[in-house]
């Protein structure tokens, strides 16, 4: 079981790192669509900044999952909290019908909503101490 948790934690780190790099590079423009207007007002910034900061956070969390094994429980909680924090963007995208990379149909956008709880559970389970 310990090996499985380790493998899934590393896989989660790889997913976060890839998503983070995509937020900063190739898919940056497409991810702006997911940012709700209310988020930019609340944060007093623009959509591009939200996308860039979220990408940096994903990369930092990925690195922490790998580099700080003694802190994995806290880092897992932080990753789970991050996934919860970005969920309103997924809901916004589904409600507005806005297409983004890989999410170009109503069915895909709706299905993405159900992936978020899986990601939260993955973060918590793979970083659990025992």
pLDDT for residue 33: 84
Exposure string (b/e) for 49-79, b if CB count within 10 Å is 16 or more? ebbbebbebbbbbbebbbeeeeebeebbebb
What is the domain extent for residue 90?
2-126
d(CA 5, CA 32): 33
pLDDT for residue 28: 87
Cα 38 to its chain centre, rounded Å, is 19
Q: How confident is the model at residue 13 (pLDDT cuts 50, 70, 90)?
A: very high
pLDDT for residue 34: 85
Give the chain's domain count: 1
Going by C-alpha positions, the residue among 91, 94, 54, 61 that lies closest to residue 75 is 61
pLDDT for residue 126: 95
What is the mean predicted confidence (pLDDT) over 53-70? 96
What is the mean predicted confidence (pLDDT) over 120-124? 97
Cβ(54)–Cβ(118) under 8 Å?
no
d(CA 75, CA 91): 25
**Does the structure show a pLDDT above 70 at 130?**
no
Q: What is the pTM of this model?
A: 0.91
What is the mean predicted confidence (pLDDT) over 35-40? 92
């Amino acid at each position: 079981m310990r090996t499985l948790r380790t493998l899934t934690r590393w896989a989660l780190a790889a997913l976060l790192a890839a998503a983070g790099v995509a937020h900063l590079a190739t898919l940056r423009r497409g991810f702006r669509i997911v940012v709700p207007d209310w988020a930019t007002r609340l944060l007093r910034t623009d959509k591009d900044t939200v996308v860039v900061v979220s990408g940096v956070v994903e990369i930092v969390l990925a690195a922490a999952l790998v580099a700080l094994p003694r802190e994995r429980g806290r880092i897992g909680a932080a990753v789970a909290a991050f996934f919860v924090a970005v969920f309103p963007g997924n809901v916004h995208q589904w409600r507005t019908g806005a297409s983004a990379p890989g999410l170009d149909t109503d069915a895909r956008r709706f299905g993405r909503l159900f992936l978020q709880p899986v990601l939260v559970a993955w973060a918590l389970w793979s970083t659990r101490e025992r």
